[in-house]
Amino acid sequence: MSSRERALGAFYGLAIGDALGMPTQSMSREDIVTHYGFIRSLRDAVAEQPISPNLSAGTVTDDTEQALLVADLLISGKGTIDPRVFAAALLDWEAGMVARGLVDLLGPSTKRALQLLEAGADPEETGRGGTTNGAAMRITPVAIATGPELTELVESVVTASKLTHHTNIGIAGAAAVAAAVSAGIDGADLSTALDQAEHAAALGARKGWWCAGGDIACRIRWARRWVRGMDRTTLSYAVSKVIGTSVAVQESVVAAFALAEALGDTPVEALTTAAGLGGDTDTIAAVLGAILGAQHGLPGFPVDLLTTVREVNGLDLEPVVDGLLDLRKSGS
């Protein structure tokens, strides 16, 4: 399988996971079962959905849309993202969401960082409180554009993330996702890619402003070992109740790696399991989709699933991925 096929798998996998998690985001496991039963496919969002009520099956959320925003900025900036241009693009994106009558807006870390920037703070400092998963959810374009050598990759993660998530925890989580995706695009098997994620998280934890919280590399390592051999029901309970599924990086990002370890050979089963966990399901499934998409490429996802997500959202990611891969080649 070519690196292009794997890169397409990563970006489309992100979108597919995002769409599967859209109707269940910010709901409890119990409410998900009440309104949807067990998630096995794309579903329309119910009226009771707190973030995306009544959206059509296959619709993506902020995870995919902000990843596309990052991709466009990377390509137009020839591999660099100007923080003030990034800030303006994020605010424009949110204004567009409001105009569409949607409440899937900027996350707490990103919102706070942009307010600080507007108040005159240095872009190097605006992200010093960013410990949520916003950087990790939109880091896949950086992973596609950057090779798997960890020193360079982590620096690219820092550059793309520091405006909003310039903390040891935020950088570590984003670096872990980027490393797993970039290694997969380069042809590494899943175990090796997840090992690389642990190493990248350890490097990322040395960057940014220090914030108290569980070490991402250690939590990924523990979670991977703990979930091995669990059946799907036990796994879902373990991830949702013990690892956690909130927007905190050390919960949702670690949850995605736990599912990758346990269900990495079956991408759709992994993503539908993520969608049923409760909490930040769209981000967990999006991150997981990117990691597993880099492993399995587009053939890892059923054609009807991929087609629906493409058509509902008008997605044409091939030119975007090609532009990101050009950056990857120029940096090699």
> What is residue 257's three-state secondary structure?
helix
- Going by pLDDT thresholds of 50, 70 and 90, the confidence category of residue 92 is confident
Task: Give the pLDDT of residue 74.
Answer: 96
Task: Give the pLDDT of residue 115.
Answer: 87
In a 13 Å sphere around the CA of 1, the CA atoms on its Cβ side amount to: 21
| Angle, helix 168-185 to helix 216-227, in steps of 10 degrees | 50
Print the domain residue range for 7: 3-330
Residue 195 assigned to a binding site = no
Residue 280 assigned to a binding site = yes
What count of other Cβ atoms lies within 10 Å of the Cβ of residue 125? 14
**Which distant-in-sequence residues (6+ apart) come within 8 Å of 111 by Cβ?**
105
Amino acid residing at 177: V
Residue 63 assigned to a binding site = yes
Mean per-residue pLDDT of the chain: 94
Spatial separation of the C-alpha atoms in residues 198 and 173, rounded to whole Å: 10
124 has pLDDT over 70: yes
Spatial separation of the C-alpha atoms in residues 314 and 319, rounded to whole Å: 13
Residue 215 assigned to a binding site = no
Mean pLDDT for 14-34 is 97
114 has pLDDT over 90: no
> What is residue 232's three-state secondary structure?
helix
Spatial separation of the C-alpha atoms in residues 214 and 254, rounded to whole Å: 11
Mean pLDDT for 264-287 is 98
| Token output for 147 | 């090779």
Amino acid residing at 210: W
Q: By C-alpha distance, which of 266, 261, 293, 288 is closest to 277?
A: 288
150 has pLDDT over 70: yes
Give the Å distances, CA to CA, from 151 to 86, 194, 200, 206.
23, 17, 8, 12
120 phi-psi bin (left φ>0, alpha ψ -120 to 50, beta other): left
Residues 133, 225, 271, 97, Cα dihedral to 10°: 0
Residue that the structure tokens 């990034």 belong to: 86
pTM of the model: 0.96
Task: Give the pLDDT of residue 143.
Answer: 98
Higher pLDDT, 116 or 279: 279
Residue 92 assigned to a binding site = no
> What is residue 132's three-state secondary structure?
strand
The mean-pLDDT minimum among 124-133, 138-147, 312-321 falls in 124-133
Spatial separation of the C-alpha atoms in residues 11 and 44, rounded to whole Å: 22
What count of other Cβ atoms lies within 10 Å of the Cβ of residue 139? 31
Residue 62 assigned to a binding site = yes
332 has pLDDT over 60: no
Q: By C-alpha distance, which of 45, 48, 65 is closest to 56?
A: 45
125 has pLDDT over 90: no
The mean-pLDDT minimum among 93-102, 110-119, 215-224, 236-245 falls in 93-102
Higher pLDDT, 332 or 115: 115
CATH number at residue 226: 1.10.4080.10
Please count the structural domains in the chain.
1
